[in-house]
Amino acid sequence: MVKVGIIGGAGYTGSELLRLLSRHPQVTIAAITSRAEAGKSVASLFPSLRGHTDLCFSDPADDGVLQACDVVMSATPNGVAMTHAPRLLKAGVRVIDIAADFRIKDVAVWERWYGMSHACPEFVAEAVYGLPERHREAIRSARLVANPGCYPTAVQLGFLPLLENDLVDPTTLMAAAMSGVSGAGRSPHVPTLFAEASESVKAYNVGGHRHQPEIAQGLAQMAQKPVDFVFVPHLVPMIRGIHATLYGRLKDPAVDLQRLYEERYRDEPFVDVLPAGAHPETRTVRGTNLCRIAVHKAPGSDKVIVLSAIDNLTKGASGQAVQNLNLMCGFEETLGLTDIALFP
């Protein structure tokens, strides 16, 4: 059994980790921390977990139990994991950060977008970007994994086959992506109150979203050249889910896109390429680690349209973290992640 600790377990990604790991046959959850909830039982904060865990939250300052773990998963706000990682790594603990502290390789770019100084920039180069469909082998041996963001997961998986094969002009890439309100976290904010978000759709951070440089970095690595990428996020009145509509100009409009995507993802357990003409829906991935993709060609043009849908809390966060945990520990990649989506 692998002993896993969770830092910052009082939010939505923390509760999703608990939901998944409490049923994982090879994991023992050794500790879960929350500064605000220290001393309280997990089940009192998350009644859905009653009967599945008898853990209580501990203070993250008391990290002796964390240093006794095999793997620590950080489900904290940005800027927190980097304060814990050096001590944990020194103690021989492997770390999966579900926030953004280690995703962007250019530390100056990270500091500009996140508005703070990086506490341990010496570890950024070592961190492996935890998108298994691209970095599976590196993840297996990694000490430190930077779990991708939700928007970046949906967008990168959608563009991956095109950019890997140099089939799309990298200066024409655009994404219009929609997220449910859980993507903003559990802390109360006026824009995500029911009365504010219900019965309305709006774009936000059009002038620059923090996931922009992360996505652009990944796309450029796929293309092996700079990309010009436009990203517009939207808030929609649902709880869970990401839907990304991606656009680009094909270099060869005659390419068989359906075959390309089916072949690229044939052996990927968590990417489902839908039949030609289909449209993925967020409700079909709710609570799962799946990314469902459909690829279309705009009639009478050289434009490709890719539709990508994930659950932002699962494949977009905690589920992908468990997928990375499985790879790091030598387990079957799908272990603990085979739930069928909830419907309706």
Domain 151-311 CATH assignment equals 3.40.50.1980 = no
Q: What is the mean pLDDT of residues 199-228?
A: 96
Quick one: DSSP state of residue 148?
P
CA-based R_g, the chain, Å: 20
303, pLDDT greater than 90? yes
Q: What is the structure's pLDDT at 304?
A: 98
Average pLDDT over residues 12-24: 96
- With cut-offs at 50, 70 and 90, classify the pLDDT of residue 64: confident
Catalytic residues: 150
If DSSP codes are grouped into helix, strand and coil, which group holds residue 168? strand
Q: How confident is the model at residue 344 (pLDDT cuts 50, 70, 90)?
A: confident
* Alpha carbon distance 10, 59 (integer Å): 12
- Amino acid found at 38: A
Of residues 195 and 111, the one with the higher pLDDT is 111
Nearest to residue 253, comparing CAs of 320, 331, 305, 213?
Answer: 305
C-beta of residue 27 within 8 angstroms of C-beta of residue 337:
no
* Residue 251: pLDDT over 90: yes
pTM assigned to the model = 0.97
Give span(s): CATH 3.40.50.720, the chain. 2-126
Q: Is residue 187 scored above 90 in pLDDT? A: no
Q: What is the pLDDT of residue 136?
A: 98
Q: Which residue has the tokens 């790879």?
A: 327
What's residue 183's pLDDT? 92
pLDDT at 186: 86
CATH architecture of 2-126: 3-Layer(aba) Sandwich (3.40)
Q: Of 168-177, 183-192, 309-318, 328-337, which gets the smallest average pLDDT?
A: 183-192
Under the banding of pLDDT at 50, 70 and 90, the label for residue 16 is very high
Which residues lie closer than 8 Å to 333 by C-beta, 6 or more apart?
A: 132, 269, 323, 326, 327
The per-residue pLDDT for 42 is 93
Residue 61 pLDDT: 83
Centre a 10 Å sphere on the Cβ of residue 193 and count the other Cβ atoms it contains.
Answer: 11
328-to-102, 124, 134, 142, 324 alpha-carbon distances in Å: 17, 18, 15, 7, 6
pLDDT for position 60 = 87
| pLDDT number for residue 84 | 95
